[in-house]
Amino acid sequence: MKIGQLTFHASHNYGSVLQAYALSKQLQLMGYETEFINLRPQSQKDAYQIIMGSGIHRAFHYLIYPQLKRRYDNFERFITQVLPVTEKEYASTDELKKEHFNYDAYVCGGDQIWNPVCQDFETAYYLQFLTSDNRAKKISYSPSLGKTKFDDETLQNISQWIECFDCISVREQRGAQLIQKLTDKKVNVVCDPVVLLNKAEWEKIAIKPKYKKPYILVYFLENNHGSRELIGYLRKMTGYDVVIFNEYLRDFVKPYHKAYDASPEEFVGLFMNASFIYTNSFHGTAFATIFEKPFISAIAEDQENVVNNNDSRKIDYLRKIGMENRLYTTGKPTKEYLFHMNFESARVKIEEYRKLSLDYLKFGLDLER
């Protein structure tokens, strides 16, 4: 069986390319031949230019251009040489409609590919380039809507688009509840693709970091929550170095190691070898649990008034594996809380979640058409 995959595989975002890698790798481990349909809209390319922003932020990017260029090249190498992609590149759903694909199955997911207001969005992620008589199996695996409130017209479109799928799963419980109102088909909730691969599989691609001393790994998303003051507190408490990924101007003058140019493989290696992890990212949280590292995952204090899918994902996931006590809002945690962690129960629950998700994937691919 040959599978055509669709996701944001070409986003210069660690979570995006690594979830793409994980699902592709898992399908290969299951014995399937698979490749990504190389859909790369111009809007997506524009979002990941090397020099971004304006004013002082743009000037800062020029200052660290060599590192940003290396990171850009590292992502392009990973996308074109590590991920299995079609030789031909497509810029839009309309271009895909002109192509005659010969896949036995299509798998769409994960990431926010089902979010119609996402700048990367194309209706191709709902398989709207296929004709109604196409007999291939059509499966969604862990896509996200990105939000839970849409206008009536958008909901009507989503309702029509999902009708072509034989099996539907999404990433978040809230997303499942929304989709379930739009279809009579069962809507499953499965784990993010990065959780499909166990620690041993991730270790195979991880590149060991150059930092020899124990370090706190900090991975922040700009539009999210968490206290940067806590970084100094953690550094002082532990005596550890600090390693950061994100090129934020306010952190540039701090005495941190800057991993601005890290490749996806180096990203995994930095999580694998960290002494402590402080993140507000879902994928940062997921990798902390996979590698069983002491960590805290920052969320907004006022969840009732935050429309933040990233927080809901972390909350859902950590509750699922019994580690919701690692969610952080404010205050200065004690050293005992930070480092006294037992992963035995979580390890079992992650494996159960992984098995449930794999069973869904196997069921969908084994369906008779």
pLDDT at residue 224, as a whole number: 53
Per the CB < 8 A criterion, the answer to whether 272 and 202 are in contact is yes
Amino acid, single-letter form, for residue 363: F
The per-residue pLDDT of the chain, averaged, comes to: 93
Domains present along the chain, CATH in parentheses:
2-196+353-366 (3.40.50), 199-351 (3.40.50)
Sign (positive or negative) of CA dihedral 172, 178, 179, 183: positive
- pLDDT at site 249: 76
> Residue 51 has what pLDDT?
87
Q: What is the value of pTM for the model shown?
A: 0.95
The pLDDT score that the predictor gives to residue 304 is 52
User: Predicted confidence band at 256 (pLDDT cuts at 50, 70, 90)?
Assistant: very high
Beta strands at 241-244 and 327-328: parallel, antiparallel or unpaired: unpaired
* Phi, psi for residue 293 in degrees, rounded to 5: -105, 145
Percent of the chain at pLDDT > 70 equals 96
Query: What value does the mean pLDDT take over residues 193-206?
Result: 98
Confidence of residue 176 (pLDDT cuts 50, 70, 90): very high
3-state SS, residue 23: helix
Enclosing H/E stretch for 138? strand 137-140
Nearest to residue 3, comparing CAs of 121, 110, 138?
A: 138
Q: How far apart are CA 34 and CA 132, in angstroms?
A: 23
Sign of dihedral through CA atoms 243, 244, 245, 251? negative
Over residues 116-145, the mean pLDDT reads 95
Quick: pLDDT tens for 352-361.
999 999 999 9
Reported confidence tier of residue 274, pLDDT bands at 50, 70, 90: very high
Neighbours of 183 (CB within 10 A): 14
Q: How far apart are CA 195 and CA 352, in angstroms?
A: 11
Mean pLDDT score, 274-297: 97
Q: Kindly state the helix (H) or strand (E) to which residue 279 belongs, with its residue range.
A: strand 276-279
Q: Which residue is listed with tokens 């930070």?
A: 338
Count the helix, strand and coil residues of the chain and give each as a percent rounded to the nearest 5.
45, 15, 40
Question: CB of 246 within 8 A of CB of 223?
Answer: no
Higher per-residue pLDDT: 156 or 302: 156
For 8-25, write each residue's pLDDT tens digit.
999 999 999 999 999 999
Whether the CB-CB separation of 168 and 328 falls below 8 Å is answered with: no
